[in-house]
């Protein structure tokens, strides 16, 4: 028995040495980075933008995540995409108590094994850039792979939110599981060489509560493709109705992944109130003939929303749920009158990416009020904040008053159009000024230590 165990240990040791040796001998002179997101890459715009910036900075980039067939990661296919197969996760989120621990553990093991096998196939890397959330099992797997396969690589975590707070928003998840996830996230985050945070509030939390000191704030910014003045595609103009074609109707837009962190019940309760205002006698304030609300995106809760929407009797308000090509989505944003975000942060520390896209196109944004949202949306300047369906209905009614030249809407639009108007306010200059020096500095530091 001891002989068999000794042979097994020796075999593993030899394999580790060979893996490290082979990896170290496959360099081609360019810096290499692996970007890891244990989620749908299509729904992870920030981490995709990071991968694109690395390529433009002459890195050899591998993007690891759930990538749908036919997805275009970048023009010219200059990013290698490695697709992970997701564990069937629906049965996990529906479980309770001890069954949740058991099924979640099995799903984590499945994901860990799939990620481990994939990362061991990669040639030696200089940087591992991880999106968080999710962090289970990503943190632990990447740390193990780096220790064995990529000993000179640096680990960077890009904090979009806190994973354990997202878990806590699911009432089925036991409190003990949330606490374990919090400890895991805190402990293994200290293995990273650097951290990026999406907001100042999140960076302060990581420093104060997790004891992480090397956090750089890398705020989200719209890319240059988002700008005011783009025309609505003809195919969409025809499908949205004549009122929009001749300017008598108003168009609002929101985008979603149809996940629980976006509370569309607020909209469902607000719609009858808005419809009632549009149907009321005009009096002294002129209202648009109709309001069309375009909801773009796909996800698990879409059918549930559509079922509830069908039970409403609306005369002047139309809600359309669609899936748009990226170019059409940008054009629809630019052609809309205002945007709505229904993202409510589980931690109160992150920001809605969709609101950035809207402001990039010069749209005022209506958003739920929570602590860190003020870093992006200033109530009464570039948007309006709401807490209840009644407040949302009142805000929309106010924006539509004295249509189409209402003072409130046009004042907000004017401010929103200038919010990210300067070139330095866009994503690329922000990334070059913040992320690039840190990533290249880590490589130089490891090179000096290894020489």
For the chain, first and last CA: distance in Å?
A: 43
Mean pLDDT by runs of 10 across the 451 residues of the chain is 37 45 51 88 82 91 76 54 52 52 69 85 92 91 93 95 89 85 96 96 96 93 84 71 68 87 90 91 75 88 90 92 85 91 90 90 94 92 95 95 88 89 82 95 84 54
Q: How far apart are CA 69 and CA 63, in angstroms?
A: 14
The rounded distance, in Å, linking the Cα atoms of 364 and 295 is 16
Positive or negative: CA dihedral 326, 328, 329, 334 = positive
Q: Is the pTM of this model over 0.95?
A: no
For the chain, the C-alpha Rg in angstroms (whole number) is: 24
CB-based burial label for 191 (10 Å; 0-12, 13-18, 19+): middle
Longest dimension (CA), the chain: 92
DSSP character string of 199-263: SHHHHHHHHHHS----EEE------TT--TTPPPPHHHHHHH-HHHHTTSSEEEEEE----TTB-
- Domains of the chain by range and CATH? 29-221+426-450 (3.40.50.2000), 234-422 (3.40.50.2000)
Beta-sheet strand order (sheet of 250-255) = 317-322, 291-296, 250-255, 338-340, 365-368, 383-386
CA separation for the pair 367, 352 (Å, rounded)? 9
């Amino acid at each position: 028995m001891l002989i068999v165990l000794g042979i097994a240990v020796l075999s593993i040791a030899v394999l580790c040495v060979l893996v490290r040796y082979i990896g170290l001998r496959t360099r081609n002179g360019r810096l290499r980075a692996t970007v890891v997101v244990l989620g749908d890459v299509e729904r992870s715009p920030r981490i995709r933008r990071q991968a694109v910036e690395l390529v433009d900075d002459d890195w050899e980039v591998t993007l690891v995540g759930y990538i749908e067939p036919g997805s275009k990661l970048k023009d010219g296919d200059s990013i290698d995409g490695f697709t992970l197969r997701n564990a069937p996760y629906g049965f996990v989120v529906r479980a309770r108590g001890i069954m949740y621990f058991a099924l979640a553990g099995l799903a984590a093991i499945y994901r860990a094994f799939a990620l481990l096998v994939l990362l061991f196939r990669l040639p030696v890397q200089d940087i591992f850039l991880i999106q968080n959330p999710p962090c289970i099992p990503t943190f632990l797997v990447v740390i193990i792979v780096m220790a064995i396969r990529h000993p000179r690589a640096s680990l960077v975590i890009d904090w979009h939110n806190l994973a354990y707070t997202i878990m806590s928003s699911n009432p089925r998840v036991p409190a003990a599981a949330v606490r374990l996830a919090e400890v895991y996230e805190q402990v293994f985050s200290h293995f990273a060489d650097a951290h990026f945070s999406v907001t100042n509030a999140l960076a302060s939390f990581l420093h104060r509560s997790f004891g992480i000191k090397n956090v750089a704030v890398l705020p989200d910014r719209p890319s240059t493709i988002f700008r005011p003045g783009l025309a609505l595609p003809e195919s969409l103009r025809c499908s949205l109705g004549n009122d929009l074609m001749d300017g008598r109707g108003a168009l609002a837009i929101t985008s979603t992944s149809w996940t629980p962190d976006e509370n569309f019940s607020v909209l469902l309760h607000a719609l009858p109130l808005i419809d009632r205002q549009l149907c009321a006698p005009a009096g002294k304030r002129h209202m648009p003939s109709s309001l069309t609300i375009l909801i773009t995106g796909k996800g698990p809760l879409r059918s549930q929303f559509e079922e509830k929407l069908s039970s409403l009797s609306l005369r002047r308000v139309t809600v359309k749920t669609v899936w748009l090509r990226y170019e059409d989505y940008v054009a629809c944003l630019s052609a809309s009158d205002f945007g709505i975000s229904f993202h409510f942060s589980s931690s109160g520390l992150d920001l809605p990416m969709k609101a950035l896209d809207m402001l990039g196109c010069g749209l005022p944004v209506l958003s739920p009020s929570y602590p860190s949202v003020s870093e992006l949306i200033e109530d009464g300047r570039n948007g309006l904040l709401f807490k209840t369906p009644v407040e949302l209905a009142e805000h929309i009614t106010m924006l539509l008053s004295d249509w189409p030249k209402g003072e409130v809407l046009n004042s907000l639009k004017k401010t929103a159009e200038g919010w990210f108007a300067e070139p330095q306010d866009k994503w690329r200059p922000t990334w070059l000024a913040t992320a690039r020096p840190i990533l290249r500095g880590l490589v130089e530091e490891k090179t000096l230590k290894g020489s």
